[in-house]
Amino acid sequence: MQKKKSEKFTQYLQKLYELNSSSGYLWSKFSRIYGGCIFSSILQINMNFDFVCIKRGEVTFRTIDLYDELLLDFFEEEGQRWLTVRASGPHWSKPCW
């Protein structure tokens, strides 16, 4: 779970921003209740949020132009926390994580 707080992940987000700096939407399972959030760029998001309150879930960042998407899928298995990072779209699928 520390991966999203790492320098490597910060550099990855910087690459995504350079490829598509559009504002966008943040969606989670709570969006059905509270609505989605709007962010001015992927760099604005505080990736240091904690997953303690939810053992399994997804957070999706989608650019306002709907071209690119970043999916953070987190889960707990046998007491260990895991995070899968998946980017898609014509711009954000290019850099390797």
Q: Around Cβ 80, how many Cβ atoms within 10 Å?
A: 8
Three-class DSSP category at 23 = coil
d(CA 64, CA 61) in angstroms, rounded, equals 9
pTM, two decimal places: 0.82
Question: Cβ distance 85 to 72 under 8 Å?
Answer: yes
Question: Cβ distance 52 to 87 under 8 Å?
Answer: no
Residue 55 has pLDDT above 90, yes or no: no
Residue 90 has pLDDT above 80, yes or no: yes
Residue 83 has pLDDT above 80, yes or no: yes
Instruction: Of 82, 76, 92, give the one whose Cα is nearest residue 18.
Output: 92
